[in-house]
Structure 1
């Protein structure tokens, strides 16, 4: 899975109103890019950082660019576009990269389920030997000393998703929390107890109840520069 367009490099000036970022392009032009990330983006918006933008395919769109990548630390990239992880996960599952989820005949996105009226990111069915799998995808971009933490802000929505996944296990199906690690410096994933201790406690409860925890890291970069690839290429440990 690759970025659909060639990325344009720039320098981050500021992010504001959550969804906007001012970026200086190499020719000196300052553009306002769409920032598709509702989180805190902790550690992913250092002043003056190198960033990469994708040009809009629709020439009539108000904002010409979307912010995709940031050099979060020297030589290490993070993908801040939270519209990417679900597609990354689906591509990896359908290609058989995530071997623990291989063998399902059908992969459907955004299926409504649960007592709390959620939408699961991926519903897997049609396996000859295994129960349906309900897969919730979470984007990991917060990195501290090589540890990827989730979430980067208190998430009531994420807590709800854990409750829904536990309910699916009780109903006899598989339930999976798949961390899509979009930061090249991460070597393991942990719950961010220092940010949302309730989520951390629920995550451990969910794991004990049978929810499967997986983490897969995206390629993103080669030699500190964008590779053009969003593919999930390596499994990382989830440490509780």
Structure 2
């Protein structure tokens, strides 16, 4: 998908809280919104080149969103709203092998106490599939991990997927790595052991676990290819 808003290059200064950052844009220090409540400490470091998306909504307190940053020579998209849009585009274009047969795509559907990102159905609606999407930005020497901070909600979603699978639905979780040039993925057991345990339990119960990296540019992002999962 290509971004339909103007993108500007700046320099990261600091992140005083989860929602905002201070950046330098054309020599001026500005406060911008960070559309990712994760820590992103390995990415957002003082002096890092970052990319801002212009937002022209007059009711906003900030004019820009910080959507991407350089880590060495890698460009990482950190916008937490992007993964669902990228996966939706991939589903429409039949780019996800496991899910080819599902032609009907519905967003934000509830099962149990969880609201999953997608409910997919075959044309005759005899087969239904719940899909949860997680954006991944944490990378170390070509290996990526999720989450970068504890997420009780994430583990709960996985357990609900297991229940959906037991009741006869298709169920899967797709980790979308928001960068290229990574080869492997694993749950981040050090930062959230409960999530890792839930993910391994999901695999044992037949829940699909998929990991794709992305082609990323300052003006676009799209799903690329599967990478290996280490559980």
Does the alignment reach a TM-score above 0.5? Answer: yes
Note if contact 1:44-1:80 (Cα within 8 Å) is conserved in structure 2: no
- Aligned 8 A contact 2:13 2:45 in 1: no
Structure-1 residue corresponding to 2:97: 99
1:18-37 deviations in Å (ceiling 9; x for gaps): 10011101x20111110011
**Within 5 Å, which residues of 2 pair with 1:157-236?**
157-221=153-217, 226=218, 228-236=219-227
Task: Tell me, yes or no, if the aligned pair for 1:131 and 1:172 is still in contact at 8 Å.
Answer: no
Structure 1 contact 21–34 (Cα < 8 Å) conserved: yes
C-alpha distance in 2 between matches for 1:184 and 1:130: 36
Secondary structure of 1:230's counterpart equals: strand
Contact 2:138 2:144 in 1 (8 A): yes
Partner secondary structure for residue 100 of structure 1: helix
* Distance in 2 between residues matched to 1:97 and 1:105, nearest whole Å: 12
Counterpart for residue 13 of structure 1: 13
1:148 maps onto 2:144 in alignment: yes
SS in 1 for 2:221: coil
Shift of 1:74: 1.3
**Structure 2: distance between partners of 1:207 and 1:166:** 9
Any unmatched runs of 5+ in structure 2?
A: none
C-alpha change, 1:129 and 1:188, in structure 2 (3 Å) is: farther
Contact 1:215 1:237 in 2 (8 A): yes
Q: Deviations over 1:131-174 (max 9, x none)?
A: 31110000110001211101111110011001000001101111
Identify the range of structure 1 (124-133 vs 179-188) with the bigger mean alpha-carbon deviation: 124-133
Q: Does 1:87 align with 2:78?
A: no
Alignment of 1:14-33 (within 5 A): 14-25=14-25, 27-33=26-32
How many residues align? The count is 231
Q: Tell me the residue number matched to 1:70.
A: 69
TM-score normalized with structure 2 length: 0.95
**Structure 1, unaligned runs of 5 or more:** none
Which residue, 125, 134, 138 being the options, matches 1:138? Answer: 134
